[in-house]
């Protein structure tokens, strides 16, 4: 069986060239994490849809993410985490219900809006909250862990367009605008995560998804 190599697609008509790498190759994870740390944008698989990511603590990279996606600055950027221990680096104390949701549904397709730490770049959100999640995807968590434990990420598409469920769809939407697309195969869920605001009492379902209001006892 021949050795797999990191593959570069044909040159884009855009000003830069986007690399397409198999996500299961350890070298691809390491190199993509290094690009994140250098302020580059990357696309990677998750358990829901493909994500467009930037380093969570680099305001310039996050600003570039907004620009590439054509996303209004009034719409916050969530943070994906590698491990539960990373949560304390981005959020303040959690209410008991949020802790229960975490124990029950993480890693998985549930995003929780919580109080953010003041150290986070202000550009991530317009208020004192941040949306956080640990994806149930080995490649995603390995990448996030290698990049420092937290990646600012939104769906890999231009605003208003359908989120990419495959690397090919992500590349078609963002070719020439990101450094790398990691190919992890089709997204298992095929839809964006459920979003719950845990900063209100009672909590509010902001976006339906794979985990239902019934699952959450809302």
Model pLDDT for residues 37-66, shown as the tens digit of each residue: 999 999 999 999 999 999 999 999 999 999
Look up tokens 């358990």; give the residue: 47
Coil vs helix vs strand at 7: strand
pLDDT surpassing 80 at residue 15: no
For residues 33 and 82, the answer to whether their CB atoms sit within 8 Å is no
- For the chain, list the strands marked E by DSSP: 19-22, 42-44, 51-55, 79-81, 110-115, 129-133, 150-155, 180-183, 194-197, 204-207
| Cα of 188 vs its chain's centroid, Å | 15
* pLDDT digit string, tens, across residues 83-101: 999 999 999 989 999 999 9
Protein fold of 19-216 = DHBP synthase (3.90.870)
For the stretch 133-146, pLDDT in tens is: 999 999 999 999 99
**Structure token digits, residue 115:** 């109080």
pLDDT of residue 7: 39
| Residue 201, CB-side half-sphere exposure with 13 Å CA sphere | 4
Three-state DSSP class for residue 91: strand
Helix, strand or coil for residue 95?
A: coil
């Amino acid at each position: 069986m021949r050795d797999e190599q990191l593959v570069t697609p044909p040159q884009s008509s855009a000003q830069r060239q986007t690399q397409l790498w198999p996500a299961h190759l350890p070298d691809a994870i390491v190199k993509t994490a290094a690009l994140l740390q250098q302020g580059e944008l990357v696309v990677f698989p998750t358990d829901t849809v493909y994500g467009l990511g930037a380093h969570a603590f680099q305001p310039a990279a996050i600003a570039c993410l907004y620009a590439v996606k054509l996303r209004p600055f009034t719409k916050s950027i969530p943070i994906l985490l590698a491990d539960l221990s990373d949560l304390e680096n981005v959020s303040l104390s959690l209410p008991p219900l949020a802790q229960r949701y975490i124990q029950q549904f993480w890693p998985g397709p549930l995003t929780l809006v919580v109080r953010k730490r003041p150290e986070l770049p202000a550009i991530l959100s317009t208020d004192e909250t941040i949306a956080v999640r640990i994806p149930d995807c080995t490649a995603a968590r390995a990448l996030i862990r290698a990049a420092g434990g937290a990646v600012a990420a939104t769906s890999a598409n231009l605003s208003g367009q359908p989120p990419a469920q495959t690397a090919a769809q992500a590349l078609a939407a963002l070719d020439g605008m990101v450094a790398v697309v990691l190919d992890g195969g089709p997204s298992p869920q095929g839809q964006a995560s459920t979003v719950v605001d845990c900063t209100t009492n009672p909590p509010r379902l902001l976006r339906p998804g794979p985990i239902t209001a019934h699952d959450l006892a809302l």
